[in-house]
Amino acid sequence: MNEGLHYEIEQMEAYAKEHNVPIMEKESLAYLLTFLDRHHIKSVLEVGTAIGYSAIQMALAIPGLTITTIERDEERYLEAIKNIKKCHLEDRITLVFSDALETHIEGTFDLIFLDAAKAQNIHFFERFENNLNPHGFYVTDNIEFHGMVAQNESDIESRNVRGIVRKIKEYLNYLEEKKDYHTEFISVGDGLAISEKL
């Protein structure tokens, strides 16, 4: 990666920190990038763009990779447009400004990356199944939710957080029981689930 791109990435990381944007953790990002390479992934549908950080990292790591990515928050969407332009990736990253629970996406993808509202993952999974290529993958981020998924529910003070944790557990059971996919849970970063369509 050249110096200019390095600078842009660092700026995005600083912006995310300052504005509390939950971008992917370094370790899980590295894992994902290696995974894309190893499985010769050519196209990705991402649910949850935020400011474009993970989409840009994927595009920079994998030459020729194309990404369609959905974001419902206007401020973040506008920030993502700026960042993608600065990195000259407009031709490989397509931004969709809408609610992923309502939008219809054309085309099919080798991998679908779920990184939006943590309580809605079953809905996202089912909504985009027709957009997944045969033998494609779903990758879901934040399945450990800062260690809280492994924690005793009664130790979690916030009712709201308890609700999210319960939803994540439901999603993990859902993946485990899904017979047409094989899912592996990887304890890296904030936890990744990798589900391969059989």
**Binds 142: which of ligand SAH, Mg ion, none (CB < 5-8 Å by kind):** Mg ion
Question: Quick check: 70 binds ligand SAH (CB under 6 A)?
Answer: yes
User: Which residue has the CB atom at the shortest distance from Mg ion?
Assistant: 141
53 binds, among Mg ion, ligand SAH, none (CB under 5 to 8 A by kind): ligand SAH
Regarding 115 and contact with Mg ion (CB under 5 A), the answer is yes
* AA letter at 17: K
**Direct distance between the N- and C-terminal alpha carbons of the chain, in angstroms, rounded to an integer:** 35
142 is a contact residue toward Mg ion (CB under 5 A):
yes
Residue 99 is a binding residue for ligand SAH (CB under 6 A): yes
Closest CA to 88 of 122, 52, 118: 52
Considering the rule CB under 6 A, would residue 100 count as an interface residue with ligand SAH?
Answer: yes
Taking CB under 6 A as the binding criterion, the range among 18-26, 161-169, 174-182, 187-195 that sits at the site for ligand SAH is 18-26
Distance in Å, CB of 155 to ligand SAH, minimum: 25
Work out whether 111 is an interface residue with ligand SAH (CB under 6 A). Answer: no
Residues 197, 188: Cα–Cα separation, whole Å: 22
Q: Which residue's CB is nearer to Mg ion, number 113 or number 181?
A: 113
Pick from 133, 126, 128, 114: nearest CA to 40: 133
